[in-house]
Amino acid sequence: MNEQIETLQRIKNNGIDLLMEFGPRVISATVIMIVGFLVARWIGKAFLRAARPLKFDVTLQALLARIVRVAVLLIFVLMALQNLGVQLLPLIAGLGVAGAGIALAMQGVLGNLVAGLTIIFTRPFRVGEYVSMQGVEGRVESITLFSTKLSHADHSIVIVPNRKIVGEIMHNYGTLRQLSLSVSLVYGTNIARATEVVHNLLASNPHVLKDPAPVVGIANLKDVAIEIAIKPWVQIVDAGVAGPEIYSALLEKLRLEGIQISTPITRIAAA
């Protein structure tokens, strides 16, 4: 019984000694880390404010601000470790060995990271542009270090790993799209009047851009009809609604003008 009491007493004394020796260090290290988080956040926001007049790409601004925050926070982490009495050189050497093993186990993640940095600095596309790549297409919503987020016309979201983008063929439409519409008119139609009607209709549509100017003209001479190509330019966000609007207005306008739209001929095979 006495031995148990003595053991508990020794543990208590050792705990008090450790608390007296390391308690102030732990408290001061915790304070250093809290201050580090606050300072890193403040410096990151200050960097973003300073970078706005320089008109950097939004993704590049976010990346540089994150690097600044991490660098500042790393300085405070080293200060906190040094305050705790940790030997930094052996720690850095150990982290280097561990980092090599982690790198081998995370090749896919690191591939996305390197590809993300390549995209951010070479800027083959930017946020807000419409791109087509790897069998998917959509408006670029965000570019992170590991993936790119696209929004599709059906309001779905497509996440593309960055390593699937770099080195592959990609079609960047920018912020504009040229719609490819058409209407077939019967032979004998006054084509000059028909194209004038189409031009006037496009000019009155709020989604159609004046510059670049829309393209309207004969696209094909079919067996029973003249195909008129209608290719207006619209903003990416208007690409989904502009086409149906134009077709609906065009159908009504051609009817009012007495311009006849060609209808397909249905051939019935003899029995």
Q: What is the pLDDT of residue 108?
A: 57
Question: Is the pTM of the predicted complex or chain greater than 0.85?
Answer: no
Q: What is the pLDDT of residue 12?
A: 56
153's CB contacts (< 8 A; 6+ apart) are: 138, 239, 240
Q: What is the pLDDT of residue 128?
A: 86
Q: What is the pLDDT of residue 15?
A: 58
3 state SS for the chain: CHHHHHHHHHHHHHHHHHHHHHHHHHHHHHHHHHHHHHHHHHHHHHHHHHHHHHCCCHHHHHHHHHHHHHHHHHHHHHHHHHHCCCCHHHHHHHHHHHHHHHHHHCHHHHHHHHHHHHHHHHCCCCCCCEEEECCEEEEEEEECCCEEEEECCCCCEEEEEHHHCCCCCEEEEECEEECCEEEEECCCCCHHHHHHHHHHHHHHCCCECCCCCCEEEEEEECCCCEEEEEECEEEHHHHHHHHHHHHHHHHHHHHHHCCCECCCCCCCCCC
Q: Which of 160, 80, 151 has the alpha carbon at shortest distance from 115?
A: 160
Q: What is the pLDDT of residue 14?
A: 59
Domains and CATH numbers, the chain: 2-105 (1.10.287.1260), 121-174 (2.30.30.60), 176-257 (3.30.70.100)
CA distances from 136 to 9, 120, 152, 168, 175 (A): 70, 20, 9, 13, 17
Q: What is the pLDDT of residue 85?
A: 67
Q: Rounded to the nearest 10 degrees, how much is the dihedral formed by the CA atoms of 115, 116, 117, 118?
A: 50
Give per-10-residue mean pLDDT for the chain (271 aa): 60 57 70 82 79 65 75 79 66 56 55 81 86 87 88 85 87 88 90 91 91 90 89 87 90 88 56 33
